[in-house]
Chain A
C-alpha cells in the first residue's frame, strides 16, 4: 500500500499516515466509527473519503508538482479503490465493484473476494476495540487505545487480523491490524534485507528495493554512507528507538536445486539458479521424482535490520 514493498511485511508511508489520522482522542475515534457504521449501513465506500477528514490533505502526500515524486493523495486513494478493492467509478462518480465482475479482484493474483468489506469491517472492529476499555468499567479508560497497521503479503486469500492487548502495568492497551493479502501484479521481494541503494525507488526502477533512507538500520553496522549521513543513526542505541519494524533473517537467500540432478540430463549450465526437476528430458527409463517449485536457502549470517520508511519500515520517531 506504499510506493512499493520489497519486504514481506510493511508499514510504510501510507499506513503510517493512516495511523496518524486514526489515532486521535476518544471523540475523533467515535466520529470515525460513526462514519464507518454509516458506510456499512449504506454499503458504501464513503468512509474512505470522510472517515478521517484531514487524512487526504496530509502534507506527506505528493503535491503533484513537477519534481515531487511522491504519489498524491488522489493517486493513493484511487489505487486503494481500484487495486485493493477492485472498484470502479460509475458515470455519476460513485465507486462500486466492477460490473460485470472480473475473474479476480483488483490487482490481486489468484484471488476474488470483497476486500473492501473485509477492510471496512476490520477497521470498524479495531475502532471498537480501541474505544473499549479492556474492562467492564469504562470510566477507567477515558482515552482510546492506539491502533497500528501492518500489511503482510503474500497469503492465499485476503484476510485481516485485529489483535488487541492490554499493556501490563499501564492503563493502556494496543490494537494491531494486520492486513494479510494475496500477492499482487508486479510484486517482487528482495532476496536480502540489507539495503544496497540510497533510495527505495530509483528513477526508472520497475520495482522497489531496500534502501538506507530514514531510518534504515542494520544492527551492529554503521550507516552505509556515513560521509553523507554523519548523523545516522539518529538514535544511537537501536533499542531506544520509539518506532521500528525489525526483520530478522539470513543476510541473503538463493534458489537452490539442480535440473537433472536425479535424471542426469537437462542441465543448462546455470545450476545455481535452476529449480525444476525435469521430467521432460529425454530418458529411456528414469527414476523421476515429483517436481518441487523453487526451493529457498537462507545463506550467510542472521541479521537484524530495520527497513527504511520508503521501503516499508518506519522512522524512529514515527513521523512520515
Chain B
C-alpha cells in the first residue's frame, strides 16, 4: 500500500512533487539529492512547517503580516553531517488586535496587536531507512514576545516517606480550652 501523500503537496511545484515522491522510498538517495539541491530542501522545509505554523498561529490569533510570513536564512542553510540538510527559518506575523477580530483558541490568550517573529530550524535526514524531519522551534521566544512568563518556582516533591497520614483527631468542640494556657481574654486582636 503506498504511503499517504504529504499533506503539503500543493506547496510544491508538480515537478518538485514528482521528484520528491520518486525519491521518497530511497531516503539516502533523496538526501543525496537535497544536499545538492538546497533550493528543494528549503522548499520542503517551508512546505513542512508552513501548514503547521498557519494552523498553530491561527489557534494563537497570529496572522501573517504584509512583508512577513516564512523566510529562510541562506547563511545557515545547507548540508549537515553525512546525510542531513538543515534550514534555519523565521515566520513573521502579528498577534491580531481585538479590533481585527483577533484572539485564538490557544488558552484564549488576549490579542495584543504586537508583531512577533518565530524562529526555527528544520533538520531533514534519513533515519531508519525513512525520510525524517525534526523541527526545532523557539517556542519560549514566541511565548516571551506574547508577554507570557514562566512561574519560575521549582516544584519540590513533598510526600510522606512511608505513605502514612497522621491519625484523625477527635471531633472538634469537645474541649474549648487551650493546653497549658490561660483563658483567652474577651475580644480577639487582629494582629
Query: Please, how many angstroms separate the alpha-carbon atoms of A220 and B184 in the complex?
Result: 23
Are A209 and B153 in contact, with the CB atoms below 8 A?
no
Query: Would A187 and B178 be within 8 Å (CB), given that A222-B166, A283-B132 are in contact?
Result: no
- Give the distance to chain A from B155, nearest Cβ to Cβ, in Å: 5
> Residue B108 at the A interface, CB < 8 A?
no
Question: Which A234-269 residues have C-beta < 8 A from chain B?
Answer: 234-240, 242, 252-253, 255
Of A167, A235, A290, most B-chain CB atoms within 10 Å: A290
B143-171, CB under 8 A of A: which get 1 and which 0? 10001011111111111110001111100
Within 8 Å CB of B160, what residues of A? 194, 196
Query: Would A109 and B152 be within 8 Å (CB), given that A240-B176, A291-B139 are in contact?
Result: yes
B1-29, CB under 8 A of A: which get 1 and which 0? 00010110000000000000000000000
> Residue A190 at the B interface, CB < 8 A?
yes
Within 8 Å CB of A182, what residues of B? 152
A279-297, CB under 8 A of B: which get 1 and which 0? 1111111001111011000
Q: Which residue of A lies closest to B56 (CB)?
A: A290
Are A222 and B168 in contact, with the CB atoms below 8 A?
yes
Q: What size tier do the contact residues of chain B reach?
A: 35 or more
Q: Which residue of B lies closest to A223 (CB)?
A: B166
Are B159 and A196 in contact, with the CB atoms below 8 A?
yes
Query: Would A279 and B178 be within 8 Å (CB), given that A167-B190, A191-B158, A290-B60 are in contact?
Result: no
Number of A-B contacts (CB under 8 A): 147
> Residue A19 at the B interface, CB < 8 A?
yes
Query: Would A110 and B149 be within 8 Å (CB), given that A190-B156, A242-B189 are in contact?
Result: yes
Chain A contacts to B: CB under 8 angstroms: 6, 19, 23, 109-110, 146-148, 153-154, 156, 167, 172, 174, 182-183, 187-192, 194, 196, 207, 209-210, 218, 220-224, 226, 231-240, 242, 252-253, 255, 279-285, 288-291, 293-294, 318
Question: Which B177-191 residues have C-beta < 8 A from chain A?
Answer: 177-181, 184, 188-191
Are B184 and A242 in contact, with the CB atoms below 8 A?
yes
Within 8 Å CB of B157, what residues of A? 191
Are B60 and A253 in contact, with the CB atoms below 8 A?
no
Within 8 Å CB of A148, what residues of B? 190-191
Q: Which of A172, A189, A236 contacts B153 (CB 8 A)?
A: A189
Query: Please, how many angstroms separate the alpha-carbon atoms of A212 and B79 in the complex?
Result: 60
List 14 A–B pairs whose Cβ atoms lie within 8 Å, in order of A's numbering: A147-B191, A154-B151, A154-B152, A187-B154, A207-B156, A222-B166, A233-B179, A236-B178, A236-B179, A237-B176, A255-B155, A279-B135, A285-B7, A318-B189
